[in-house]
Structure 1
Amino acid sequence: MKHVITPVGTSLFTNGSKTNRNIQNSYERIEDKQHSEWDNNSTYIERLRSISNEFISENTISATAELQSTAIIKDKIEDRIIVYLLASDTISSRLAAEILRDRINDPNSVLGENVTAHFEPENDVIGNLQVNNTVNFSREGMPNLFQRINDIKDWKAGGGQNLAINITGGYGATLPYLTIFAQLEDVPLYYNFEDQDELITIPQVPLAIDSNLMDRHAGVLAQIADRIDDSLRWRAFKSQNKSAVRELDAFIWEDNDLGAELSPMGNIFWNDYLKSHFIVKLPSFMNRAANDEVIRELYERLNRALCPSYLTPDSCYQRLRELGHNDDLNHTGQVRGQDIFIFKSTDQDQVRLMYSFVVNGRTITQITIFDRRGHIETEQYIIWKNEFENLPEMNFETYTFDI
């Protein structure tokens, strides 16, 4: 079975507008409207839905770029296909996706029973994926798009080997990023020129970023990935890390008023880097060399306990709570009211670490350490844990471990 991610454009309505004045008039009513205005435009939406379905019935596969390209992909793959339709943050893209989903899933679909479509507006309308605001597109839209693609890859397709991306529809502005993502993930890209039956498969080429660059500046990248959302802090950070910021220029989005974060390109390569590394945030008062070994032990124990079945945030925390207070990963129970736990090391000093962690997809990507203690009596835990019920302000050093 192949899982084909298909960004949805508006070719259904633009094609229909060429020959049908009713489609043109209705489409013009919603063409430039954001998805947030959906409920206020129900009359126009339902009118356009009805006449667009008539247009598809008359023109079948040639009615839209998404239908035509899916039909050609089906013939090429010769296997069952699930089409994941992803809409931009607009009324027209969501409406097109809903119409396509219903037509593909119709028992009498021209694509046949081996092709099904999936579209849930609450998950598959990609927030801020729109071109009216380039800042929101870069800061929110592209990260949201890749988060959804990764969710489908990890939780639906079972990995990139079962995934493909159909880039025939959707925003042209996303194509460079989708291409790089697909190359890194070894995912095939399909494209179909309108009015032609030929399918272009974009070939895989060796693509990798300089690993030394990533290793050298991983701590800087990790901090920028968390967003430096204050212009004064960003100027100070940039001054302290001049060389790194200069070398990482293509990976950084910055604004004189808003601060800085990873660019869409930076997000792609950073997430790829985290497949083989995890981030550690350590309080600046703690010595890294004295803690590396026990932190690696913590990571390996967490990985064994949680992978691959529990790697969503809620299920991870619930899993640790279910281990009970005597388990080393949840020693004496979590810090009350917070997803912070105590790890008891198996080394001879029985070091305790107070920690939290972050998961992304099926990977533990970050461990944050709040404090470290040597062997202490059980009653002392109560005092120690109470100190952290309201976390104090801390300064952290950030670095990465290879997995």
Structure 2
Amino acid sequence: MSEGTVFLRTLTLNCWGVPFVTRDRRIRFKYIAEELSKGEYDVVALQEVIHSSDYELICKHLAQSHPFQHYFHSGVRSGVCIFSNCPIIDSATFHYSINSSPYRVHQLDWYARKLLGLVKIQHQGIVINIFATHVCAIHTPSHLVDPLFSHRLAQCYEISNIVRQVGSSADVNILLGDLNSEPFSLPKKVLMANAGLKDVWDERPNSDDGSGETCERDCNYYTQLNKRVYEKFQDGMRIDYIMYNGCHSYKVQCTDARLVMRKIPGSALSPSDHEALSATLEIQHCKDTEPPGLSDDLLSLLEDLEDEFVSAYSAVQQKRLVSAGLATCLALLLAVLQLTSITDLICAKSLICAILVIGFFICIWDICVQRVFEASAFCSLIENVRIRMLYIKNDKHG
């Protein structure tokens, strides 16, 4: 029996504010700020708001419409922030145990220190957990092997565990952000099944409103200007999501989901290289609401997850061996160079020695620190998955 209905309007957008990479940044952020200041959405989650000036611009424009604002500071800049017209009563930050590599300087994921941010809001008497994230990016075309797939998979699994374990502290849970995972991918499936979340695009009643691709759409001004990741998908790919579930006696359903803010008026420019996704959620307090059960395919998904993590762990150990071999070769070259006497090329010799020493210490750091951290993360994840699988099996037989 229903005891009242509340609506929550949400929006997520990857704003494409990466330094030295983005185009037309000031024009685009000005439009984004002005559009959001109209107050059409109760909660807004933004990603890739890297420049402090961009965040300050948005804060200034949204001071009246969304007076409650939170930026999740992490690394050089996380880029993840939330704006709300409802009071924020609590917040938390969860860092992922594994997140790309410092060697991938051009990709910035490690330096941004990717995270899952949480703010708890009160909306018309209902306590809602708002989770926002930007998962490790895809930089490899989909038809090639993605070296960071296991990292992205780990992050999505950790999101699902956090939402599942923290979710009961509120009446409703909503996850917004750029998951960099296709709708058919294992990371997205595991996240939804393990956390008991629903995807607004799958649940929306306006199902005739396109396929929902949020990245590399032909109609986006920047698609043809940037290197495409999804070359096999001419219509682009859906990698930005809004997901939800209800707790206790609250039932949540999506009444509308669509792509918005498609073009900057009077210009050929798009607000970002991603499309903005909006969704309206209907929240009802029902006495007879039952908590969602475990997904039927969760066990098989966790088995696939375990296999991926075991393979990733083995790959990390192989990389340690490669680094050990390379360090040995560099040490031998350095020793040979020191034993030679080339007095007329002393400058060249010093330069080569410096390069060899730097390379040697990078290899040692890789062996003793970077790969150890990575291997430990995968070990922990494997154990976590096995505990979860054991519980599910016992629950089924119980």
Q: State the TM-score, normalized to the length of structure 1.
A: 0.31
- Structure possessing the higher radius of gyration over alpha carbons: 1
Task: Give me the TM-score of the superposition, normalised by structure 2.
Answer: 0.32
Q: Greater helix percent: which structure?
A: 1
